[in-house]
Structure 1
Amino acid sequence: MELRIFTEPQQGAGYDQLLAVARRAEETGFAAFFRSDHYLKMGSVSGDPGPTDAWTTLAGLARDTTRIRLGTLMSAATFRLPGPLAITVAQVDQMSGGRVELGIGTGWYAEEHAAYGIPFPPLGERFDRLEEQLAIITGLWSTPAGTTFDFPGTYYPVSDSPALPKPVQRPRPPILLGGMGPKRTPRLAARYADEFNLPFASLDDTTAQFRRVRDACAEIGRDPSTMVWSNALVLCCGRDDAEVARRAEAIGREPAELRANGAAGTPAEVVETLGRYAEAGAGRVYLQVLDLADLDHLELVAAEVMPRL
């Protein structure tokens, strides 16, 4: 199983702190550094120093790291137009030497849209817009050089686009889709996703949703083995119960709750939890690190969890 680091900067983190986490993740052997794409904090934390833009952050990390892969869980389709997003991701892919991945979803956090003047249509329309965005982004990237791209969209009509720039990765940077939607989510994943991700889902929910996506793949004749299957889980690992409790307190959570719902406990407990997700079909896990100042947390997982997977 591959381990990746996942952060939530809207809860309070500037670029320098994110860079420190990304570099430590790179140094200790994690496969990727991902971040959320939100403009407003959640819960009672202050959120200081305020939000950072996901793709601006990734552009900086593209130049300030060398090996680790970089991406979003998940960019909100409501935040950006599909053409400019395709350009941005392609440019960051070039800046990183081909290390970028695009996680994208409908957007769900109404309050952040209200806080920054971003339109937030009903869910059905957001799915319609996401589907058009996926068609346009993949279409722009796959259009042969020297030809143009057209798309007769309802929300995003495109005409006579030169479909430039191209990303370094061919045929394209990996696209991640995810979520528990029972119908449209599996269909969109089967058609467009290189990876399907479930955030903070139980083993039972993971098994059921993975099955729905596999069924959707079968309906269009896609081999499910061509897709990466992944989960995201909160990380709270300690050498003993006292260290687990200290790390849980630092993020405002209870050890028992984290053990039930995340990747928590001693290294042996975390390995056991990840093993159960592997049995459910996950080949990759994003470990959500909420205390970004605790770089020793990454060191512990790299030393005592990663080698046992």
Structure 2
Amino acid sequence: MERMRLRIFTEPQQGASYETLLRVATAAEDLGYDAFFRSDHFLRMGDADGLPGPTDAWTTLAGLARETSRIRLGTLMTAATFRYPGPLAVSVAQVDQMSGGRVEFGFGAGWYAEEHAAYGIPFPDSSRERFERYAEQLDIITGLWATPVGEGFSYDGSHYRLSESPALPKPEQRPRPPVLVGGTGPRRTPRLAAAHADEYNVPFSPVAETSAAFERTRSAVADSGRSEPMVYSAAQVLCCGRNDAEVSRRAEAIGRDVAELKANGLAGTPDEVTDRIGRFAEAGAQRMYLQVLDLSDLDHLELVATEVAPQLG
């Protein structure tokens, strides 16, 4: 069985400067984690103060591209509602070049209406329209990257039209950076993943629901006739401690209950967290995104790197 890859996943809209994210990303690189990912949001959620304010996902990753050397960098998930597809393809390709080919492009439809209102971003009321726009953007972005140098790219969709784009620049990775599609939608999401994604991600779902979502996507991949393999991954909140007191302290720091975290996340001692990750591996997960909510607690990352990761093979 392929070794489970552990990736750090951050939520900077809850409160983090670029310097904070840089410390976490460099610590993750030094500790041997496979990747550093961040959300793409502009407004805090829940009771967090969100200070000093939001940071832009691709501006952050551009900076990290030049200040790290090995770790892979990506988003869970860039929102299709935030940017036009052509300029987004340019930005991601450029950051991929800046990183030497370490970018992974997680892309979703967008869902958080309040952040759109807060920053003047149009938000279609219809989930159907949001998904249609998202699907067209995936067509366009992957189409731009795949167009041979010297040829043009045109697209005539219901929501977006491109005419003889030079389809430049190209990303460092060829034919493109890995594309991640996620969610638990029963029909449209598996089909879209089968058509466009290199990785399918299930966020914050129990093992049984994650396994069922993987199976739906496996079926969509088989039905599509594609020959390229799909990577399957899951995201879960992390709260690991050497003992019960340390677990409780970390849970309190992020405003969560230990029992709830043990039921719905990766919580407990290193052995307990290892066992929980193993259940996701048995369901087919090849990568686990560890949602780290206290970005000041770098010892948390070190504990998992030294006492959980070695048990995963």
Q: TM-score range by the shorter chain?
A: over 0.9
Instruction: Determine the structure 2 residue equivalent to 1:135.
Output: 139
What is the CA distance between 1:237 and its match in structure 2?
0.3
The answer to whether 1:82 aligns with 2:85 is: yes
* Partner Cα separation in structure 2 for residue 219 and residue 158 of structure 1: 30
Instruction: Determine the structure 2 residue equivalent to 1:205.
Output: 209
The answer to whether 1:186 aligns with 2:190 is: yes
The answer to whether 1:260 aligns with 2:263 is: yes
* Partner Cα separation in structure 2 for residue 218 and residue 71 of structure 1: 27
What is the CA distance between 1:219 and its match in structure 2?
1.3
What is the CA distance between 1:89 and its match in structure 2?
0.2
The answer to whether 1:117 aligns with 2:131 is: no
What is the CA distance between 1:211 and its match in structure 2?
1.0
What is the CA distance between 1:205 and its match in structure 2?
0.8
* The one of 64, 69, 72 aligned to 1:69: 72
Gaps (5+ residues) in structure 1? none
Helix, strand or coil at the partner of 2:87: helix
Gaps (5+ residues) in structure 2? none
* Partner Cα separation in structure 2 for residue 217 and residue 2 of structure 1: 22
* The one of 153, 157, 180 aligned to 2:157: 153
Q: What letter matches 2:86 in structure 1?
A: G
What is the 5 A alignment of 1:1-309? 1-121=4-124, 122-223=126-227, 226-309=229-312
Give aligned pairs, total.
308
* Partner Cα separation in structure 2 for residue 218 and residue 116 of structure 1: 41
* Partner Cα separation in structure 1 for residue 158 and residue 195 of structure 2: 19
Q: What letter matches 1:165 in structure 2?
A: P
* Partner Cα separation in structure 2 for residue 274 and residue 50 of structure 1: 33
* Partner Cα separation in structure 2 for residue 220 and residue 37 of structure 1: 30
Q: What letter matches 1:293 in structure 2?
A: S
What is the CA distance between 1:106 and its match in structure 2?
0.5
Percent identity, aligned pairs only, is 70
Q: What value does the CA root-mean-square deviation take over the aligned residues?
A: 0.7
* Partner Cα separation in structure 2 for residue 285 and residue 218 of structure 1: 24
Helix, strand or coil at the partner of 1:288: strand
Moved more, 33-42 or 147-156: 147-156
Q: Alpha-carbon deviations, 1:24-78, whole Å to 9, x = none?
A: 0000000000000000000011111111100000000001111100000000000
What is the CA distance between 1:222 and its match in structure 2?
2.3
- TM-score normalized by structure 2? 0.97
Helix, strand or coil at the partner of 1:226: coil
What is the CA distance between 1:206 and its match in structure 2?
0.6
Q: What letter matches 2:147 in structure 1?
A: T
Helix, strand or coil at the partner of 2:214: helix
